[in-house]
């Protein structure tokens, strides 16, 4: 079992508020294109016909992600993405997550779990904490 970690949260909205309008366009435009590309990849309207554009759409996801990452690296400070010990923060979009196993509303433990307390799931609460 992983050791308990102190949940550090990355709040995208707070960081977004620090960006200039130009920087927002630089990150926001590829973000929109990436979401649209994912939607196109999930499009099942013509199940028996392979979309000729599929390769281009896949490539556009990679390109959009690379652009967004370059913008984040250029405009978001390291101390906004990592805690004081240099550990990466968890984006707030996931909501609550377990401080021991990392499960969340998007990926529960095998057999299911709930919250025993904030940032500790019932599956982990039922087991003794690992002694350091
Ligand atoms: Zn857990
Ligand atoms: Zn869990």
Domain ranges of the chain: 10-85
What gap in Å lies between CA 34 and CA 78, rounded to an integer?
A: 24
Spacing, Cα 99 to ligand 1 middle (Å): 7
Whole-model pTM: value is 0.72
Label residues 77-102 b or e (16+ Cβ within 10 Å = b).
Answer: eeeeeeeeeeeeebeeeeeebbbbbb
Give 37-46 contacts, CB < 8 A, sequence gap 24+.
37/61, 37/64
Q: What is the pLDDT of residues 37-92, one digit of tens each?
A: 888 888 766 666 566 778 888 899 999 999 999 999 998 888 888 988 888 899 99
Spacing, Cα 4 to ligand 1 middle (Å): 9
> Relative to the alpha carbon of 1, which ligand is closest?
1
């Amino acid at each position: 079992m992983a050791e308990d970690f102190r949940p550090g949260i990355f709040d995208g909205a707070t960081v977004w508020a620090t960006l200039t309008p130009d920087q927002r366009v630089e990150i926001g435009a590829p973000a929109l294109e990436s979401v649209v590309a994912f939607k196109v990849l999930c499009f099942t309207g013509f199940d028996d016909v392979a979309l000729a554009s599929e390769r281009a759409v896949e490539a556009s996801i990679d390109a959009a992600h690379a652009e967004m990452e370059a913008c984040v690296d250029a405009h978001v400070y390291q101390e906004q993405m990592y805690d004081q010990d240099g550990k990466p923060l968890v984006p707030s979009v996931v909501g609550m997550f377990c401080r021991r196993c990392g499960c969340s509303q998007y990926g529960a433990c095998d057999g299911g779990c709930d919250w025993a307390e904030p940032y500790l799931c019932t599956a982990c609460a039922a087991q003794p904490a690992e002694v350091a």
